C-alpha cells in the first residue's frame, strides 16, 4: 500500500488533515510526568519521561488525528538515550495505526544521503550481510540545500520501501526568504525550482487518490507562495508548519489544499502539547486534566480547519 | 581557550592541516574487526564493531592529525545503538587530544535549532533543573537553508560554550550549484551571501591566532569560488571536503588557506579508511596490516598537502 494512501485513509476517517507534533520539552512537560521513579542515569530518566509522556499523548489523540510528527531535535539533544525514546515513540504510534512523520531535515552528499535514507526509511546492512529496517519511519523531512544529487537517494529509497519524504520547499520561519525567495535565472524562486524537482519525481509515484508521497514542506505563513507551489506540485502531499503558535490561521492554510480537501497536512506542536502555558498550571494539574486539555486542543484544531475547508471547498471528499 | 586555538595548536604541532573523517561502513570495515564475539542484538553488535574500529583508527592517527570528523549519518542509521557508538567515539577522540568535528549538517527553525545547538555543542536541561553537556562535540556542521534566524542559536551556543560551527557555504558535490550558485539581487551568489553572514559573526569571536570558530564548509572541488569566499571570510576557519576520493587535488585546496598556512582543514574519509578498496584484501588482511595502511595514507596526505602549502606560501607559520 502506498504510504500516502494510508495517510489519506486516516485523514478521511478522522475528517482531520492535521498532524500533532511530538516536541517533548522537559521544561514544559507537566510535573505529574516527572514524579514517577525514573532511572538513575539522568539522561535515561529524561528518556523515560519523554516516552511515557508521548505514549499518553498518542493514546489521547490516536482516534482523532491521522498522523504524528516527532521532531527529532528534541530527542537527539539527549544523545543515544533520547534517540531510544524517539524509536519507541515511532513504534508505539505505528502500532496505534498512526502515520509517523520524522521531522529531521536531514541531508548530505550522495553517499551520506543514502545512509540517512536507509536508516530512516529503508533497511540497513548488518554484520551477517542481512538487512533490516532501522527507524522505519513512514515519512522523513529532507533539506535540499545540496541540490538534486543529494535528494535522489531519498527518492530511490522511498520507491523501494514504500515510504515518503517532505522536501523543504518554503519554510514557515521569518528568515526563510533569505535563500528560498532568491530568483534563479529561469525566473523562478529557489523554492519554485525545488518544487519543480519534487513535482517531477512525484508524478511517477502516485497512489489510488492520485497523490504522491514525494512531498514538500510549505509554511502556512506564506499563503500566496503556497498557492503558486500548489500549482507547481499538484500531486505532492504538503506538510504545513506555521499554523497556530507561529501565526498562520485556518484561512492561511487553504491554498495548500486542493479542492478535494486533500493534498496537505497541517502541523501543530506547541499549540496542542503546551496549551497549558502557565507554569503554575503545569505543576498543579493532574495527568487526566492535562490530557483532556490536549484532546480539547486537538479537537479545536480539527474543527477550525474542517470548517474552513468545507466552506472553501464544498465538493471536498470527506 | 578558544577551540579554534586548540585546532591551530594541533595543526602546527603535527604540521598537518587535515582531518580524518570517521565514516564507518560495515561493508568496507575489514573482516578482522567483525570476528570477535559481538552482542546478541544485531544493532548492538554493529555498534560495538564500529566503536572498536574507530578506537583503532584514532590510536593510529592521533599523533599525526589535529582532528577527526565523524559523519553522524553512518552512526545514526543504526538508531540509538549507532548514536551510542558515535558518543563513545567523540569521547575517546577528545581523550586522545584530538579536536572533534561532528559532521551532522543540522538545522531547523529557531526553537528547534536551539535544541540541536544545545545537544551537540552546549548543555541540556535535566529533570532536576540542572544542565549538563550531551554530545559535547567541539565543532558541528550546520545547514543555512532556513536563513539567519536558524543560524543565530548556534552562534549563541558557540559563544557561551566555547565551541565552533562550520556553516555549509559551498559544498563539494556536483549539484551544489543548483541553489548555492544562484545570484541574489545584491550581485552575490547564495554562497557568498551566506559567507557575509558567517564573516559578520566570526569577527567578534577570534582567538590568539586571529581566527574564528564561526567557520564555513567550502569544497575543494570549486577552487575559484573558494578564493572568493576566502576574501569574504578572512578570519573564519574552513572545513574543506572534496579532496581525494571526490576529485580535489592538493593544488585545488590552496585557495582555502591564507598565506600563514592556516585557516583551513582538509578532510579525507574514504581515502584514509578504505584505501584497501579490494574486497579480497579486506577479508584477508590482519588488523596490523590494515592499520599500517591507514597510517601510511594519513602520512601521504599530510606530506602532499604540506608540500603544496610550503611551496605556495613560503612564509607559513609551521
The DSSP code sequence of B247-310 is SB-TTTTGGGS-TTS-SEEEEESHHHHT----HHHHHH--HHHHHHHHHHHHHHHHHHHHHHHH
Q: CA of A135 to nearest chain B CA: how many angstroms apart? A: 6
Confidence band of A283 (pLDDT split at 50, 70, 90): confident
Asked if residue B77 lies in contact with residue A140, where contact means CB atoms within 8 angstroms, the answer is no
Say whether A143 and B147 touch across the interface (CB within 8 A): no
Out of B110, B143, B183, the one facing A145 most closely (by C-beta) is B143
pLDDT for the residue numbered B246: 79
Residue A81: its chain B contacts at CB < 8 A?
Answer: 80
A283 touches chain B (CB under 8 A): no
pLDDT of residue B36: 67
**What angle do the packed helices B223-232 and B190-203 form, to 10 degrees?**
40
In the numeric block, the cell 578532510 is attached to B267
Asked if A136 reaches chain B (Cβ–Cβ under 8 Å), the answer is no
How do beta strands B67-70 and B18-22 pair?
Answer: parallel
pLDDT 10s digits, A30-47: 989 987 666 789 999 999
Q: Is the minimum CB–CB distance between B135 and chain A shorter than 8 Å? A: yes
Q: Give the CA-trace dihedral at A145, A147, A153, A154, to 10 degrees.
A: 50
3-state secondary structure chain A: CCHHHHHHHHHHHHCCCEEEEECCCCCCCCHHHHCCCCCCCHHHHHHHHHHHHHHHHHHHHCCCCCEEEEECHHHHCCHHHHHHHHHHHHHHHHHCCCEEEEEEEECCCHHHHHHHHHHHHCEEECCCCCEEECCCCCEEEECCCCCHHHHHHHHHHHHHHCCEEEEEEECCCCCCHHHHCCECCCCCEHHHHHHHHHHHHHHCCCCCCCCEEEEEEECCCCHHHHHHHHHHCCCEEEEECCECCCCECCCCCHHHCCCCCCCEEEEECHHHHCCCCCHHHHHHCCHHHHHHHHHHHHHHHHHHHHHHHHHHCCCCCC
- Closest Cα in chain A to B175: A147
pLDDT of residue B49: 96
Residue B22: strand pairing partners: B70
Residues 238-267 of A with CB under 8 A from B: 241
> For residue A244, what pLDDT is reported?
82
Q: Say how many C-beta atoms besides its own lie within 10 A of residue A273's C-beta.
A: 25
Residue of B nearest to A109 (CA): B173
Q: Which of B49, B110, B146, B240 to mutate to test the interface with A (most CBs of A within 10 A)?
A: B146
Q: Does A140 lie at the interface with B, CB-CB under 8 angstroms?
A: no
pLDDT at A246: 79
CB contact under 8 Å between A115 and B74, yes or no, is yes
A135:B79 CB<8 A: yes
Q: Which residues of B are catalytic?
A: 105
> Residues of B with CB below 8 A from A107's CB?
105, 143
| Cα–Cα distance, B68 to B47 (Å, whole number) | 18
Q: Give the mean model confidence (pLDDT) for residues A136-165.
A: 97
Residue B134 has its nearest CB partner, among A78, A110, A130, at A78
Per cent of chain A over pLDDT 70 is: 97
Distances in Å between the Cα of A13 and the Cα atoms of A62, A258, B75 are 12, 18, 38
- Assess whether pLDDT exceeds 80 at residue A270: yes
Examine the pLDDT at A15 and tell me if it is beyond 80.
yes
Q: Which of A53, A72, A76 to mutate to test binding with chain B, by most B CBs within 10 Å of its CB?
A: A76
| Identity of the residue in A23, A34, A127 whose CB atom sits nearest the CB atom of B26 | A127
Instruction: Please confirm, yes or no, whether A105 is among the known catalytic residues.
Output: yes
pLDDT values of chain B reduced to their tens digit, one per residue, 318 residues: 899 999 999 999 999 999 999 999 999 999 899 876 667 899 999 999 999 999 999 999 999 999 999 999 999 999 999 999 999 999 999 999 999 999 999 999 989 999 999 999 999 999 989 999 999 999 999 999 999 999 999 999 999 999 999 999 999 999 999 999 999 999 999 999 999 999 999 998 999 999 999 999 999 999 999 999 999 999 999 999 999 877 889 999 999 999 999 999 999 998 899 876 666 777 777 899 999 999 999 999 999 999 999 999 999 999
Q: What residues of B are in contact with residue A177 (Cβ under 8 Å)?
A: 147
For residue A164, pLDDT beyond 70: yes
Residues B141/B165, Cβ–Cβ less than 8 Å: yes
Mean of pLDDT values over A96-124: 97
Residues paired with residue A170 on neighbouring β-strands, in sequence order: A218
Domains (range + CATH), chain A: 3-312 (3.20.20.70)
User: What is the residue whose three cell numbers read 519554510?
Assistant: A171
pLDDT in tens, A203-248: 989 999 999 999 999 999 999 999 999 999 999 999 999 998 778 8
Strand B123-125 relative to strand B131-133, pairing: antiparallel
Which of A36, A37, A69, A73 best probes binding to B when mutated, by most B CB atoms within 10 angstroms?
A73
Q: Do A42 and B126 touch (CB under 8 A)?
A: yes
Res A36: pLDDT: 67
Which tens digits make up the pLDDT trace of A173-210?
999 999 999 999 999 999 999 999 999 999 989 999 99
**Confidence at residue A108, expressed as pLDDT on a 0 to 100 scale:** 97
Q: Which residues contact B72 (CB under 8 A, 6 or more apart)?
A: B83, B86, B102, B103, B104
Cβ of A179 and B105 within 8 Å? no
End-to-end Cα distance, chain B: 21
Residues A297-313 have pLDDT tens digits of: 999 999 999 999 999 99
Contacts of B267 (CB under 8 A, 6+ apart): B18, B19, B20, B21, B69, B239, B240, B241, B243
Confidence check on the interface: ipTM exceeds 0.90, yes or no:
yes
B161, B117 contact by CB (below 8 A) = no
Q: What is the pLDDT of residue B277?
A: 61
Amino acid at each position: 500500500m502506498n504510504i500516502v494512501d494510508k495517510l489519506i485513509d486516516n485523514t478521511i476517517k478522522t475528517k482531520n488533515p492535521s498532524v500533532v507534533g511530538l516536541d517533548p520539552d522537559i521544561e514544559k512537560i507537566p510535573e505529574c510526568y516527572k514524579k514517577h521513579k525514573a532511572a538513575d542515569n539522568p539522561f535515561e530518566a529524561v528518556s523515560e519521561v519523554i516516552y511515557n509522556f508521548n505514549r499518553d499523548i498518542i493514546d489521547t489523540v490516536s482516534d482523532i488525528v491521522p498522523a504524528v510528527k516527532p521532531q527529532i531535535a528534541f530527542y537527539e539533544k539527549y544523545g543515544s538515550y533520547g534517540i531510544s525514546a524517539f524509536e519507541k515513540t515511532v513504534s508505539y504510534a505505528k502500532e496505534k495505526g498512526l502515520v509517523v512523520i520524522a521531522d529531521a531535515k536531514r541531508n548530505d552528499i550522495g553517499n551520506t544521503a543514502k545512509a540517512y535514507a536507509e536508516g530512516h526509511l529503508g533497511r540497513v546492512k548488518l554484520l551477517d550481510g542481512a538487512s533490516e529496517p532501522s527507524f522505519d519511519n513512514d515519512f522523513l523531512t529532507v533539506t535540499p540545500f545540496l541540490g538534486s544529487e543529494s535528494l535522489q537517494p531519498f527518492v530511490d529509497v522511498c520507491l523501494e520501501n514504500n515510504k515518503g519524504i517532505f522536501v523543504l520547499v518554503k519554510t514557515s520561519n521569518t528568515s526563510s526568504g533569505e535563500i528560498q525567495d532568491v530568483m534563479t535565472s529561469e525566473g523562478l524562486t529557489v523554492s519554485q525550482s525545488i518544487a519543480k524537482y519534487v513535482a517531477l519525481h512525484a508524478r511517477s509515484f502516485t497512489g489510488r487518490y492520485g497523490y504522491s508521497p514525494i512531498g514538500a514542506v510549505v509554511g502556512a505563513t506564506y499563503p500566496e507562495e503556497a498557492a503558486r507551489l500548489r500549482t507547481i506540485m499538484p500531486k505532492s502531499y504538503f506538510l504545513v508548519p506555521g499554523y497556530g503558535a507561529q501565526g498562520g490561521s485556518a484561512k492561511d492554510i487553504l491554498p495548500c489544499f486542493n479542492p478535494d480537501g486533500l493534498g496537505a497536512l497541517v502541523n501543530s506542536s506547541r499549540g496542542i502539547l503546551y496549551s497549558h502555558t502557565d507554569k503554575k498550571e503545569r505543576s498543579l494539574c493532574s495527568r487526566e486534566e492535562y490530557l483532556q486539555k490536549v484532546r480539547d486542543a486537538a479537537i479545536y484544531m480539527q474543527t477550525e480547519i474542517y470548517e474552513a475547508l468545507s466552506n472553501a471547498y464544498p465538493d471536498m471528499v470527506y
